[in-house]
Chain A
């Protein structure tokens, strides 16, 4: 997994600085170097990164970071917020048609996924009660028209095609057809072209002038590197894009191209393609993309969720128990239930301040989601007495618990062992971080 990314590196950077009473500008600089590296590895454009880290520096030197006891996380959070801001804070949709039919033009480089995306968009519109018509305007690539026809018939969306004619003529006739058939959107597939191909770019310009499209959507391969800005800029200058669709996000690309494209064109990213099937097409969420670019998965979402889900008083109680080392299975169950609302436990454990050092040990506990239910069932099959004093659980009790929870005795044993292990780790932490845990707040456990 690429997750190790930024979050961990920043923790590491700031851990080194822990002894210091205050962070200096130099410390922030070294953290920002990590941010920069992460963004470049994610293919965010070099210049965009430069500007971004400059403005980030200002905020990172502000009080909210310097005073924080977890500056690493604060910086990640700020980076994330700024990224979301850069990518457009809310999601946007396809404009509604006031005067149907209207053209939605799909443009982009060769191989970015225009034809497939056109079909996906048609399926989505249809699902939302519209009557889209697909129009085959890629007159250059061999068999492109046929590809759209096949996709259209699979998607049960009508396709307008008249072969290799002038695209302007195809568009005009498609609009006429749409008017006759009562279609509201005409999704017009154009040929892939290089942004520096004057002739073909002129063709698009003419098409725009003649058909007054409702939307001009640039389809961008999420795996695109530094060149994404040149491409987007050229298309935007020439055509005035109304939005961007990012494709092939089902791979392991971090998709920094999204940020680059958005930064240079200021056009909203409207949808993302996440697979080969028609329904693998989703609205774009800037915050999720930000996490992805930073290689952080849902960790930040977890922080936010934790903040909203966890009851402050309960947290304080728990903290007291943790520090006095009187954690019981009862507490454990309660925590599990809270955590369940938030997501993968392992990620959450890794985020707990002070636990980073022993984070790897937690991985051995293998508390993955599938085990949640089982663990819950086992603990629920215990009597209250057993939950408070697990040491009384003898072999006959174990048998009863396993029968009651529909698990095996081994499963019960494993859980008890895990719990013991956890207590041990907590003991270590307490020894390491005596008294400091109190102020780190914000997390359960």
Chain B
């Protein structure tokens, strides 16, 4: 599993690796070192605010530990990034005491919600769990078909209505079906929506209310899907979705490209929302539970 994860991150790592090797290969820690580190972090979409914070605390720690060589600074940086990603949160997925466990999946258009859901479903059914999917994207043309096509190959049932239907109604039926069928895990797909569209955000509130009513509890995880290529707008996405419903974690997709997904550091730093799952490829098994140490290790390896 570690191998798979590393392989998924290999592109990310390769890009970072060269830069980090050069960075930490130098001799003394000087202003230039911090400038270069800034460049690397900003180029990875970490954003100026969080980059500045990381650099400042790195500087402080290096001074406190009287570290003068670049090579030794690497470990300190690693620790720092792990701490940031792990702060106050456990990253594993929640599970209901009495099934079904319900996951609500949100995100802007095109981040890969449906694919991520299929991968999650496959993962859970491989673990021997009974999985049901709710086709809550009633808006995008053929989204329901997309989920249905996946469901067969990942071994999960689908609850669907017709295109253009009320997503809350689909979710309501799905929760009831999940309870009735004794399903372990229900994953609810939703239509992609920009975080700036008030009426579409209202719809999410409604969906969340429907789950709460029919299930008697809030969704066990409300996960925001984020594309690894996303830039600083990711912060705005996290903030605005968070204002509508409490977001319990992120799913970072498309980490198999050259994008480095550094935005998750910024999001964790600024909103506190932890990363929980990462998508690392096109196949149904290409999803991993996020592990901060592995993530940072892989980045700085």
Residue A221 lies at the interface, judged by CB distance under 8 Å to chain B: yes
Q: Which of A42, A111, A256 has the most CB of B within 10 A?
A: A111
Assembly CA distance A338 to B141 (angstroms): 47
Q: Hey, what's the 0/1 contact readout for B144-170 against A, CB within 8 Å counting as 1?
A: 011011100000000000010000000
Number of A-B contacts (CB under 8 A): 137
| Residues of chain B with a CB closer than 8 A to A69's CB | none
Residue B286 lies at the interface, judged by CB distance under 8 Å to chain A: no
Q: Hey, what's the 0/1 contact readout for A202-244 against B, CB within 8 Å counting as 1?
A: 0000000000000000000101111110110000000000000
| Residues of chain B with a CB closer than 8 A to A225's CB | 45, 229-234, 259, 263
Given the contacts A113-B109, A113-B110, A142 and B233 also touching, CB distance less than 8 Å: no
Given the contacts A111-B112, A146-B145, A221 and B229 also touching, CB distance less than 8 Å: yes
Residue B143 lies at the interface, judged by CB distance under 8 Å to chain A: yes
Name B's interface SS: loop
| Residues of chain A with a CB closer than 8 A to B194's CB | 248, 250-251
Q: Hey, what's the 0/1 contact readout for A136-164 against B, CB within 8 Å counting as 1?
A: 00000111101101110010000000000
Judge whether A40 and B141 touch: CB under 8 Å: no
Judge whether A43 and B232 touch: CB under 8 Å: yes
Chain A, Cβ-Cβ closest to B281: A194
From B48, B143, B145, B257, A194 is in contact (CB under 8 Å) with B257
- Interface residues in B22-79 (C-beta closer than 8 Å to A): 39, 42-45, 47-48
| Residues of chain B with a CB closer than 8 A to A109's CB | 229, 254, 257
- Interface residues in B89-138 (C-beta closer than 8 Å to A): 108-112
Assembly CA distance A323 to B43 (angstroms): 51
Judge whether A142 and B257 touch: CB under 8 Å: no
Judge whether B146 and A142 touch: CB under 8 Å: yes
Residue A253 lies at the interface, judged by CB distance under 8 Å to chain B: yes
From B48, B196, B256, A40 is in contact (CB under 8 Å) with B48
Residue B140 lies at the interface, judged by CB distance under 8 Å to chain A: yes
Assembly CA distance A42 to B230 (angstroms): 12
Assembly CA distance A112 to B141 (angstroms): 16
Assembly CA distance A37 to B51 (angstroms): 12
| Residues of chain A with a CB closer than 8 A to B214's CB | none
Residue B242 lies at the interface, judged by CB distance under 8 Å to chain A: no
Judge whether B110 and A46 touch: CB under 8 Å: no
| Residues of chain A with a CB closer than 8 A to B109's CB | 111, 113, 248, 276
Residue A28 lies at the interface, judged by CB distance under 8 Å to chain B: no
- Interface residues in B225-258 (C-beta closer than 8 Å to A): 227-234, 236-237, 254, 256-258
| Residues of chain A with a CB closer than 8 A to B146's CB | 141-144, 147
Residue A64 lies at the interface, judged by CB distance under 8 Å to chain B: no
Q: Hey, what's the 0/1 contact readout for A21-44 against B, CB within 8 Å counting as 1?
A: 000000000000000010011110
Chain A, Cβ-Cβ closest to B191: A276
Given the contacts A225-B232, A251-B195, A110 and B141 also touching, CB distance less than 8 Å: no
- Interface residues in B208-236 (C-beta closer than 8 Å to A): 227-234, 236
Assembly CA distance A223 to B225 (angstroms): 14
Assembly CA distance A42 to B47 (angstroms): 10
Assembly CA distance A256 to B231 (angstroms): 9
From A47, A147, A254, B140 is in contact (CB under 8 Å) with A147
Residue B142 lies at the interface, judged by CB distance under 8 Å to chain A: yes
Assembly CA distance A40 to B231 (angstroms): 10
Judge whether A195 and B258 touch: CB under 8 Å: yes
Q: A111-B109, A111-B111, A226-B44 are in contact. List 6 more A-B contacts (CB 8 A).
A: A43-B233, A110-B110, A147-B146, A194-B254, A194-B257, A250-B197
**Which are the 9 A-B pairs with shortest beta-carbon distances?**
A225-B231, A111-B110, A43-B231, A142-B149, A150-B141, A143-B145, A147-B142, A227-B259, A143-B146
Selected A-B contacts with CB under 8 Å, 25 pairs: A111-B109, A111-B112, A113-B110, A142-B146, A143-B145, A143-B146, A146-B142, A146-B145, A154-B141, A194-B257, A195-B258, A223-B230, A223-B231, A223-B237, A225-B45, A226-B43, A227-B45, A227-B259, A227-B260, A230-B259, A231-B257, A248-B109, A251-B236, A252-B195, A276-B109
